[in-house]
Chains A and B, each alone.
Chain A
Amino acid sequence: MQKLLFPFVSIVGQEDMKRALLLNIVDPGIGGVLIKGEKGTAKSTTVRSLHRILPPRVSVEGCPFNCDPSRPDRLCPYCADRLSSGGDLEGTEADMRVVELPLSATEDRVAGTLDIEHVLKTGEKKFEPGVLAQANGNLLYVDEVNLLDDHIVDLLLDSAAMGVNYIEREGVSFSHPSRFILIGTMNPEEGELRPQLLDRFGLSVDVKGDRDMEQRMEVVRRRLAFDTDPEAYTAGCAAESDAVRDRIVSARELLPRVVADDAVLRAVVTVTTSFGIDGHRADITMMKAAKANAALEGRGRVTKDDIRVVAALVMSHRMRRRPFEEESFDYEELERCLQTI
């Protein structure tokens, strides 16, 4: 039985973190979120709570790699075989999931490995899917991402970059689609993240504990109420949770129709340039995030407000900074910049 988790809608404050997560669910192409922050600020709780509001998705029935039948270009070898031999790919609907990558995971279980059972029974080699297979089309959550072993990080980076997991080990040669929303949480006191991995995250959020007494008390009250009777508490949040989920579902439907005109395009570039950000990844990500934000707000057109909302999420971890400089986002600069547009 799935243990009840603290509901997403009951998390007090932390609006940036919630927004960044929702944007990614609306458009997985944004490239994930890195959540940095001091200990005990509901980072893990929030990510784990997402399962209740995740939208449904279609995947091939019985496929261990959760292939998407509408994307024949992204099929695993089994589904591709079935399709090319004239078979049909039966789709089945299920909610997206939060797949967790435990810190103690070993390489073979992350990437997948030889199916021992199959080998022992038949003497034939067969691939056994790992976490990256489960993660396909889902959220992949890595807690303490900065403590993850380097060679596991490499695996994640490869898959995240290509959308495909290639396995060449123990005599197994295999590849399957692995597109996931990468969510990492970390406590920066424990050490920083490798720059390659940092850059891979579409958005980043810095969370801080709330210092406001009233808010803190509200946090405690809600937690207490939940712990006392999880079933009743979750039931009490059902309507609100459904509303958030519906909002995501409609945003996902709206997203392809969201328009961003040339002015918006120019605004995005103006902002990234004035913050001195190199490369196009930030521009593209900001565009995607702004569109997702418009869709989430139920608007069919991107406005300056969308850029205002997503700018810090997109840029704060991409700003060139020398080591030892405080990482802080200059909101005034952003405002000045937006005024000129």
Chain B
Amino acid sequence: MPSDDLTGFPFSAVYGMEDAKRAVQCAMVNPRIRTVLIRGGPGSAKTALSRAAGNLTGRSVVNVPLNVTEEQLFGGMDIDATIREGRAVVQRGLLSRADGRILYVDDVNLLDQRVLASLLDCVLTGRVVLEREGVSAEYPCDTTLIATMNPSDSDISPHLLDRFDLCAYSSFPDDGDGRAEVLRRNVEHQRDPRGFNEMYAPEEEAVRSCMVRAEGLLPLVTMSDDLMAVAVELTARVAADGFRGDIAMVNTAMTLAALNGRDEVTRKDVEEAAMICLAHRRNYMPEPPPPEPPEPPEPPEEEEQDDDDREEPPEPPEDDRDDDREDDPPEEDDGDDRQQPPEPPDMQDLQQMLDEMMFEIGEQFRVIDYLDDGGRVIRRTSSRKGRRAMVESDDATGRYARSRQSDDRVRDLAFDATIRAAAPYQRTREHDGLSISIKKQDLREKVRERRSGCTILFVVDASGSLGVRKRMSAVKGAVLSMLRDSYVKRDRIGLMAFRRDSAELILPPTRSVEYSYRKLEELPTGGKTPLGEALVTVNEFMTSYSRTHQGEMCYIVLITDGRANVPLREGADANEEVRKLAADLAIPQVRWIVIDASSGYIRFDNAERLAQELEGTYFRLEDLNADRLAESVRAVIR
């Protein structure tokens, strides 16, 4: 629906979304709450709510488009004024317009990460420091940031996520009545916006006066030490890093008390605060470790503090249960066990034993250059050849890093630098009625830089079939060897594992190889092989990832024996499904590498066939070992 129709949508007419509404109200009332993130699927009224918040408080909303340049956002040189006035004139950015208003970013996860980091810093410190393109300035930016994102897209990195004071999940009402009500209100609003607003005027006024009262009340609100302890305890229980969670909890609880017309925080305020303060700060918790693994595999020697917290079997007390429900992002870890097909009783113990087993990282070696396809790519048809070809970086993408004098034809003109180059000669040149005269020797072109390195997503089959033969150790060894290789080359590394009936992104792509190492070490093995599910998850993640990382080459290294046994649809042939899926996948900028992890005398060709369908490169695990490969070649020569 076009946003114009929603501009006048009253806050109180937004159906449901209690958490999101609460979060927005808190941010409007308490100036110490500056950043709010609303996560919800398309059509869950995220945008409507943000605009309604503006209407409610009389603060206009400044929208940040996703394709905003750093110059537009933070500011730069005003070339017109500079030429006119003969001195460097600063053009303030979008952020200066946001001063005293609401700053709104839709699909914030698609914003360039570095831009987002700077943006958040400006909003949180309330000022913009500008050192760009020949100008230096500082200006205030006292604003509230409301950002939205679609949770099925790739996530924001945890450390940027932490800078959002509050984060609320909004969901489209799934019951028929709710949907009907949303539709009814929308239709009514579109038919007669004025009348609709009048109808909601009393409610809107009630919300408004409640917020005004809260603003006055806020300085008087007190919070007992006991409740403060509860707030801190809750933050610790979700293993949130740092102190931002604690501070947000207390601020929010106090604001909620004020919104409820009280000058004292109650336990309910703290609980409500937890729902919007802690969900996004929760550290990834692997499934709780098995009560007593029969053969305790070698635990990592150094017990990291984080790990301690995480491994503590979370014992949710009664007051915490609500949180847990709310905290869970769409992917439910807990549901897995229940959905698993029942096994014979005695088998169950065995399965339990095999499940969750953590294998040591096996032998490591020097890897061959597995990213180079070297003609090994098996193409099915030539007509699809271009589909996964390298995205040729076109010159207008990337960040404008600097300018240079071009020797030939200027394609990407650096206007500012050109003016600067021409400026000194303006007094002496013929102007021909132009205010500024530019000659060929003044022309400067932009030198753009793109991120160096590439992204490699390792998708590891952690199912039981690999566990039985301790094959997992070898797989981990191979992955680690490849990680080492990437460490040297400064690639971005992600890790996804699939087993039982789900695929899980364990580590979103990061440059920190150490983190991937730790995650790899902790990776448990066991269960069935949901290869189809894995392909679907990879597709979703990488499609949006490649959209936000334009021009970056991405590789997906799939390590599996290729034998799927969990169909996506009940009763379907899992392997047939995988083949179909693989043939249909078309993720831009992505190349596949399939590493066959199967072992034993009887080799199945599933993995190889999968590589064909994906038009990827195929390797056997053993072939990755550069030294061994060399040995075998040497043997042949001899």
A and B interact: yes
- The answer to whether B232 touches A213, judged by C-beta atoms less than 8 angstroms apart, is yes
For the complex, give the distance between the alpha carbons of A121 and B426 in Å: 10
- The answer to whether A116 touches B244, judged by C-beta atoms less than 8 angstroms apart, is no
Q: Using Cβ atoms and an 8 Å threshold, which residues of chain A touch B118?
A: 102-104
When each residue 117-132 of chain B gets 1 if its CB lies under 8 Å from chain A and 0 otherwise, what string results?
1100100011101111
Residue of A nearest to B399 (CB): A149
Query: How many A-B contacts are there with CB distance less than 8 Å?
Result: 197
For the complex, give the distance between the alpha carbons of A203 and B619 in Å: 45
Whether A107 touches B420, Cβ cut-off 8 Å, given contacts A102-B130, A191-B511, is: no
A3, A104, A121, A147: the one contacting B87 at CB < 8 Å is A121
In the complex, 26 of the A-B residue pairs with CB atoms within 8 angstroms, ordered by the A residue number, are A38-B241, A102-B129, A108-B134, A113-B134, A115-B88, A116-B87, A119-B420, A119-B423, A120-B82, A120-B423, A123-B428, A131-B136, A144-B117, A189-B510, A189-B512, A208-B305, A211-B236, A211-B305, A216-B236, A219-B243, A220-B231, A220-B246, A224-B247, A227-B251, A324-B480, A324-B517
Whether A216 touches B131, Cβ cut-off 8 Å, given contacts A104-B70, A117-B88, A211-B305, is: no
Residue of A nearest to B82 (CB): A116
Interface of chain B residues 279 through 311 with chain A (CB within 8 A): 302, 304-305, 309
B48 within 8 A of A: no
Q: Using Cβ atoms and an 8 Å threshold, which residues of chain A touch B426?
A: 120, 123
16 extra A-B contacts, CB within 8 A, seeds A105-B132, A120-B423, A216-B232: A39-B241, A40-B162, A40-B243, A103-B114, A103-B121, A104-B118, A104-B132, A117-B88, A120-B426, A149-B399, A149-B449, A188-B514, A211-B309, A213-B236, A219-B243, A220-B247
Interface of chain A residues 167 through 225 with chain B (CB within 8 A): 170-171, 187-192, 208-209, 211, 213, 216-217, 219-221, 223-224
- The answer to whether B130 touches A38, judged by C-beta atoms less than 8 angstroms apart, is no
Q: Using Cβ atoms and an 8 Å threshold, which residues of chain B touch A327?
A: 514
Q: Using Cβ atoms and an 8 Å threshold, which residues of chain A touch B604?
A: none
Residue of B nearest to A124 (CB): B424
- The answer to whether A109 touches B82, judged by C-beta atoms less than 8 angstroms apart, is no
Q: Using Cβ atoms and an 8 Å threshold, which residues of chain B touch A209?
A: 241-243
B86, B249, B401: the one contacting A149 at CB < 8 Å is B401
- The answer to whether A123 touches B424, judged by C-beta atoms less than 8 angstroms apart, is yes
A287 within 8 A of B: no
Q: Using Cβ atoms and an 8 Å threshold, which residues of chain B touch A150?
A: 452
Q: Using Cβ atoms and an 8 Å threshold, which residues of chain A touch B402?
A: 106-108, 151
Q: Which residues of B contact A (CB under 8 A)?
A: 32, 70, 74, 77, 82-83, 86-88, 113-115, 117-118, 121, 125-127, 129-136, 157-159, 162-163, 219, 225, 228-229, 231-233, 235-236, 240-247, 249-251, 302, 304-305, 309, 399, 401-402, 417, 420-421, 423-428, 449, 452, 480, 483-484, 487-488, 492, 510-515, 517
For the complex, give the distance between the alpha carbons of A217 and B225 in Å: 8
A298 within 8 A of B: no
A110 within 8 A of B: yes
Whether A3 touches B513, Cβ cut-off 8 Å, given contacts A41-B242, A328-B302, is: no
Whether A192 touches B511, Cβ cut-off 8 Å, given contacts A149-B401, A151-B402, A211-B236, is: yes
For the complex, give the distance between the alpha carbons of A106 and B131 in Å: 7
Q: Using Cβ atoms and an 8 Å threshold, which residues of chain B touch A149?
A: 399, 401, 449
When each residue 214-251 of chain A gets 1 if its CB lies under 8 Å from chain B and 0 otherwise, what string results?
00110111011001100000000000000000000000
On chain A, which size bracket covers the interface?
35 or more
For the complex, give the distance between the alpha carbons of A188 and B157 in Å: 12
For the complex, give the distance between the alpha carbons of A119 and B424 in Å: 5
For the complex, give the distance between the alpha carbons of A100 and B309 in Å: 35
- The answer to whether A143 touches B159, judged by C-beta atoms less than 8 angstroms apart, is no
Write the nearest CB–CB distance from B7 to chain A, whole angstroms: 31
- The answer to whether A190 touches B304, judged by C-beta atoms less than 8 angstroms apart, is no
A107, A224, A227: the one contacting B401 at CB < 8 Å is A107
A87 within 8 A of B: no
Interface of B is mostly: helix
Write the nearest CB–CB distance from B343 to chain A, whole angstroms: 37
- The answer to whether B134 touches A109, judged by C-beta atoms less than 8 angstroms apart, is yes
A23 within 8 A of B: no
- The answer to whether A103 touches B243, judged by C-beta atoms less than 8 angstroms apart, is no
Q: Closest 9 interchain pairs by CB?
A: A40-B242, A191-B511, A40-B244, A117-B87, A109-B131, A105-B131, A38-B241, A120-B86, A39-B159
For the complex, give the distance between the alpha carbons of A110 and B136 in Å: 10
- The answer to whether B424 touches A189, judged by C-beta atoms less than 8 angstroms apart, is no
Whether A38 touches B242, Cβ cut-off 8 Å, given contacts A110-B131, A116-B423, is: yes
Whether A42 touches B243, Cβ cut-off 8 Å, given contacts A3-B126, A121-B87, A147-B114, is: yes
- The answer to whether B225 touches A39, judged by C-beta atoms less than 8 angstroms apart, is no
- The answer to whether B131 touches A170, judged by C-beta atoms less than 8 angstroms apart, is no
When each residue 39-76 of chain A gets 1 if its CB lies under 8 Å from chain B and 0 otherwise, what string results?
11110000000000000000000000000000000000
For the complex, give the distance between the alpha carbons of A170 and B251 in Å: 50
For the complex, give the distance between the alpha carbons of A40 and B163 in Å: 8
For the complex, give the distance between the alpha carbons of A102 and B117 in Å: 11
Interface of chain A residues 123 through 175 with chain B (CB within 8 A): 123-125, 128, 130-131, 143-144, 146-147, 149-151, 170-171
Q: Using Cβ atoms and an 8 Å threshold, which residues of chain A touch B125?
A: 3
Write the nearest CB–CB distance from B403 to chain A, whole angstroms: 8
A191, A216, A223: the one contacting B512 at CB < 8 Å is A191
